[in-house]
Amino acid sequence: MILKLIGFDEGGVRQSSEEENLRLVCLIDGGGKLAIWGSIGSCENINNVQAAGMPCEVECDSIPPKQWAIRYGHTYWVPQGKKLRVLPK
């Protein structure tokens, strides 16, 4: 799937309640949010999106967010290890 990201949400990269997990939540053009997950030692997807800046387009494999995340507007999740590629501008 290809998504156009238009901004960062939640103030950038945040550490989840589990020490090793990081997430970057991005606003999607047209509504919704993409949560990109990584860990302290492996956050290539997060780094690539931050380096691209906003706005940008990404092609990614995602999974449905967990129930608690839907309350925060997360529409898609890209877990660590799933493909995410920033498309050229």
pLDDT tens per residue across span 36-64 = 999 888 899 999 999 999 999 999 999 99
The per-residue pLDDT for 8 is 96
The per-residue pLDDT for 11 is 79
Residue whose tokens read 């799933």: 82
Identify any residues that bridge with 3 across adjacent strands, giving them in sequence order: 58
Asked if pLDDT for residue 17 goes beyond 90, the answer is no
